[in-house]
Structure 1
Amino acid sequence: MPYVPSKKTDGKSTDREVIDAALEPLAQSVAEDITNNFSLRPIYEQTFIRVAYDLRDILKSPSVVGNGLTWDLAKAIYETGAKYGYEGVYLGEFNYAFTRFIQRVPQIKVKRGDWKDELRYWLYAETVTALCHAEKETEHLEIGVDGVFRDIKDEYKRRMNTAYEAAQIVKSGDCYDGPYYTRLVEVVDEEGRLIGHMEVMLKRSQDTLHKDVLDRQLVLKSKNPYTP
């Protein structure tokens, strides 16, 4: 996801802003089209695949004219990357766009009052299914987006679902008791205030088997210690 420059990069890049501007109307439209939980997957799949096909057409003939929300996003992805002048550059922009998309649609649904939460397990599972389907259905295009869909799926697991799972373990308890497992450990600041959690990889033992969070803490020191 973070492969696209921003103003943080050089103080002037608008790459993310250009993609975001094309992404927002599409995300709003998709959020409106999702009428129940299980309508999300086919709508996501259709959106992913249409943008991929539109991008393929633009790559074949950059001067081709199209229309529609998926076309607008594909065009923004292409044009944002094209100025860097190397083959496959658009894949980073494609990754950024759909990494933002799968977060933005739930944000819109919550703001509209349709959903209470931006992430539930059903939403994670349906999003992963849509990404896997899009990967399979775009492989023959041979423009690399199939690999991007897989990467987005993997990032989504690592960056969001893992943290969500940790929150659920703290709330309701763990369910792993095999010969090897992970357990959470608290990460605190120097005053003992909770910052978050990390996973520790363990071999099963009676010391840890029945603990959801280990009775140990990791302390993060401030980069800018207070000086009186």
Structure 2
Amino acid sequence: MPYVPSKKTDGKSTDREMLNKAVEALAREAADKITDNLSLLEVYKTVFLDVAAALAHLLKGRPAANKTAVWNLAKALYDLENAYDYEGAFLGELNYAMTRFIQRVPQMKVANNSWTQELRYWLYARTVSALIYASHHTEDLDLGIDGVFEDIKDEYKRRVNLAYEAAQILKSGDCYDTPYYTRLVEVVDEDGNPVGHMEVMLKRGDETLAKDMLDGKIVLKKKN
């Protein structure tokens, strides 16, 4: 996701603004189609594959078939590909777009009171399932799009699910007692105020086995 330039990059890049507009329309359309928890999986699968197919179509030099939300996003990705002087620029742009998509849909569902939370485990699992499905079913395009969906899945695990798991451990307790495991440690600022948590890799031992969080704390110091 961070591979796409913005005004923070050079003061002038508008890649994210272009993509955000197209993603917003597509996410709103998808959110309206999700009528229950299970339907999210099929809606996401369809969106991922339709965007990939439309983009592949444009990359072959063919005109856009219509002006739906899917094709508008594909066209934005295609236009950005042509704005750069190297082949494959669209892959980073696609990563950003789909990463934003899987965040915006839950945000919209909460905003319209369909859901009460943006992240639950069922949502995470079905999003991952759709990304895996999309990766497998775009391999034959030979464009690297399958790798993008795989990467989004991995980023989603690292950037979102790990923090969510930590919150659940603190709420309900850990469940790992394997020979090697991780335990949380609290991070505080120099005044002792909570900042967040980190994981520490440990070998199983009596001192830590029954603990969800280690007794010590890591102090985050300000830069001099």
TM band (smaller chain)? over 0.9
The AA in structure 1 aligned to 2:14 is T
In structure 1, how many angstroms separate the alpha carbons of the residues matched to 2:121 and 2:49?
A: 23
**SS in structure 2 opposite 1:208?**
helix
CA distance in 2, matches of 1:194, 1:115: 29
Cα offset, 1:143, TM superposition:
1.0
Alpha-carbon shift at residue 156 of structure 1 (Å): 0.2
Give the C-alpha shift of residue 85 in structure 1: 1.7
What residue number does 2:194 align with? 194
Cα distance in 1 for residues equivalent to 2:79 and 2:55:
10
Q: Which amino acid aligns with 2:59?
A: L
Structure 1 residue 81 displacement after superposition? 2.7
In 2, distance between residues paired with 1:81 and 1:64?
15
**Identity across matched positions, percent:** 62
* Cα distance in 2 for residues equivalent to 1:220 and 1:213: 18
- Give the structure 2 partner of residue 176 of structure 1: 176
8 Å contact from structure 2 (residues 65, 71) kept in 1 = no
Letter in 2 for 1:137: H
Amino acid at match of 1:119: L
CA distance in 1, matches of 2:133, 2:65: 28
Aligned twin of 1:2: 2
Once superposed, which parts of structure 1, at least 4 consecutive aligned residues long, lie more than 6 Å away? Answer: none
Letter in 1 for 2:48: F
Q: Post-superposition shift, 1:97? A: 0.2
2:89 and 2:145 map into 1 onto residues whose CA distance is 11
- For residues 173-224 of structure 1, give each alpha carbon's deviation from its aligned partner in whole angstroms, at most 9, with x where no partner exists: 0000010000000000000011000000000000100000000100010125
> Which residue type is aligned with residue 130 of structure 1?
A
1:197 alignment partner, SS class: strand
Unaligned runs of 5+ residues in structure 1 are none
How much has 1:104 moved relative to structure 2?
Answer: 0.5
Per the TM alignment, residue 77 of structure 1 is displaced from its structure 2 partner at its CA by: 1.0
Partner Cα separation in structure 1 for residue 76 and residue 186 of structure 2: 42
Question: Deviations along 1:38-71, whole A, 9 cap, x unmatched?
Answer: 0000100000000000000000015555321101
- 1:45 matches 2:28: no
* Correspondence for 2:76: 76
Q: Distance in 2 between matches of 1:30 and 1:129?
A: 17
Equivalent residue, structure 2, for 1:207: 207
CA offsets per residue over residues 98-143 of structure 1, 9 Å max, x none?
0000000000000000000000000000000000000111110111
Instruction: Say what the alpha-carbon RMSD is for the aligned residues.
Output: 1.0
2:136 paired residue number: 136
Deviation at 1:35, TM superposition (A): 0.3
Q: Which residue of 2 aligns with 1:23?
A: 23
Distance in 2, matches of 1:169 and 1:146, equals 33
Measured after TM superposition, the shift of residue 82 of structure 1 is 1.7
SS of aligned partner of 1:174: coil
What is the one-letter code of the residue matched to 1:21? Answer: K
Q: Runs of 5+ in structure 2 lacking a partner?
A: none
d(CA) in 2 for partners of 1:126, 1:63:
33
Q: Distance in 2 between matches of 1:18 and 1:136?
A: 28
**TM-score, normalization: structure 1?**
0.96
